[in-house]
């Protein structure tokens, strides 16, 4: 078991192109969002295991001795494919939660217990430790916050239990695991996601593990080679929406107007493929033309998504505001509200960016200036973390 504190971070995700079309077998491009989730694991010897989640006001602790007495045979040994609804019910008993709890706070605790008990059962005794997780990502906005949480937990617990080595080298501010170790982190993170979401696609945890950009189609996930880092504004309209309802609405529109909607989905697929091609070219040397093409693809996809019926008046307003400043935007994720992204070309002047952010905030939107194509799960030295992150991790 490690003796010193471990600091891990993982990115969120946005869908660049292919939302909704992906449900119908088309390609989606997902990119790592450089709003990150940070985890600090502090080993100690007080016989307790603690979980602190300041963003959602969770603070829990258990006696290691009482957890040690649990019959955890139901978890299986390293066979992480076998997580079932029964396991989740059993975890609720262990945690003393009501059977019908489905709120994010309870599910976050259950995912932690599942990963702690499963990964640490290889140890002679369950380890005493405190884990604090703090995130720059808003929850429930379709930005992969639960996957980033699961990836951080999996990476930290596997490293603490010495199932994988700590990749941080002396004198370096950050370290990344090898491909083989990332596979193991991703496998366990997917199980954490299953505790939280039941039946996730696996895209969110893969993006958070590997970073960069991924292509997803019919269950197959592959990384894009050396995608460029793109500067963006991420805007949250704060309009709540149900992904389930929006997906069902697109399906019924497809059934009602097959000759109209099927070509829209084929066209969105072509947009994703063209974007993938352009990003591939940009790996060598990005040109202004590349950015203009990316902007055209953003505009076309936004119109297609409106035609599918997943737009919203406030997303239209977001697009109008950024267009007035010479910038191009689209919704990301389920639509019907939620978030949008705006591409920031390298030649956009700082005053223009600031003016756009002010205008968006004036509409009542939350706005972040960040980037996509960010690195995946990483381990950090304490000194390398921003003061705001340190503060977040110390805030409970």
Of 49, 18, 42, nearest to 116 (Cα)? 49
255 and 383 co-located in one domain: no
Check whether 183 has a pLDDT greater than 60: yes
Mean pLDDT (the chain, rounded)? 93
Residue 76, pLDDT score:
64
The pLDDT score that the predictor gives to residue 308 is: 98
Beta bridge mates, 234: 341, 368
Residue 244 CB burial class (10 angstroms; 0-12, 13-18, ≥19)? exposed
Residue 171 CB contacts under 8 Å (≥ 6 apart), including other chains: none
Within a domain: 316: yes
Catalytic residues: 146, 204
Number of domains in the chain: 2
**Helix spans in the chain (H):** 64-68, 85-95, 104-120, 145-160, 179-197, 203-210, 243-256, 258-282, 288-308, 313-324, 350-362, 387-393
In the predicted structure, residue 79 carries a pLDDT above the cut 80: no
d(CA 4, CA 41) in angstroms, rounded, equals 9
Q: Are residues 17 and 103 in the same domain?
A: yes
290 and 368 inside one domain: yes
pLDDT tier for residue 69 given thresholds of 50, 70 and 90: confident
pLDDT at 90 over 90: no
Provide the token pair at 83. Answer: 């997580």
- Whichever domain contains 30, its CATH number is 3.30.230.10
The whole model's pTM is what?
0.93
- Mean per-residue pLDDT, 336-347: 96
Domain hosting residue 243, numbered range: 230-372
**DSSP letters for 247-314:** HHHHHHHHHH-HHHHHHHHHHHHHHHHHHHHHHHHHTT---HHHHHHHHHHHHHHHHHHHHHT---HH
Q: Do 265 and 168 lie in a common domain?
A: no
| CA dist., res. 115 & res. 58, Å (int) | 17
Whether 307 maps to a domain, the answer reads: yes
């Amino acid at each position: 078991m490690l003796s010193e504190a471990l600091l891990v971070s993982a990115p969120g995700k946005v869908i660049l192109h292919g939302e909704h079309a992906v449900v119908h077998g088309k390609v989606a491009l997902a990119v790592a969002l450089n709003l990150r989730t940070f985890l600090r694991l502090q080993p100690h010897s007080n016989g307790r295991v603690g979980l602190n989640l300041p963003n959602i006001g969770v603070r829990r602790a258990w006696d290691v001795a009482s957890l040690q007495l649990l019959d955890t045979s139901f978890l299986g040994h390293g066979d992480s494919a076998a997580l079932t609804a029964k396991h989740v019910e059993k975890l609720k008993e262990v945690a003393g939660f009501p059977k019908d709890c489905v709120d994010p706070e309870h599910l976050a605790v259950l995912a932690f217990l599942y990963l702690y008990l499963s990964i640490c059962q290889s140890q002679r005794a369950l380890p005493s430790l405190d884990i604090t997780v703090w995130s720059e990502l808003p929850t429930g906005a379709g930005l992969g916050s639960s996957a980033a949480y699961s990836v951080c937990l999996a990476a930290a617990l596997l490293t603490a239990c010495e199932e994988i080595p700590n990749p941080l080298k002396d004198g370096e501010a950050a370290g990344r695991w090898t491909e083989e170790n990332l596979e193991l982190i991703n496998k366990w993170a997917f199980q954490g996601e299953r505790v939280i979401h039941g039946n996730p696609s696996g895209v969110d945890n893969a993006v958070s593990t590997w970073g960069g950009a991924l292509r997803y189609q019919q269950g197959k996930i592959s990384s894009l080679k050396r995608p460029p880092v793109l500067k963006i504004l991420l805007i949250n309209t704060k309009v709540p929406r149900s992904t389930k309802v929006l997906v069902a609405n697109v399906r019924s529109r497809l059934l009602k107007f097959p000759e109209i909607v099927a070509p829209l989905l084929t066209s969105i697929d072509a947009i994703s493929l063209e974007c993938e091609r352009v990003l591939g070219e940009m790996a060598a040397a990005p040109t202004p033309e590349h950015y203009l093409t990316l902007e055209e693809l953003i505009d076309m996809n936004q119109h297609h998504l409106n035609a599918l019926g997943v737009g919203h008046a406030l997303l239209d307003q977001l697009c109008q505001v950024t267009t007035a400043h010479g910038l191009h935007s689209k919704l990301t994720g389920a639509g019907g509200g939620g978030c949008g992204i705006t591409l920031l070309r390298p030649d956009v002047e700082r005053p223009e960016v600031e003016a756009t952010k002010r205008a968006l905030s004036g509409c009542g939107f939350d706005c972040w200036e960040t980037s996509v194509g960010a690195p995946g799960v990483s381990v950090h030295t304490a000194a390398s973390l921003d003061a705001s992150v340190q503060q977040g991790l110390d805030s409970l």
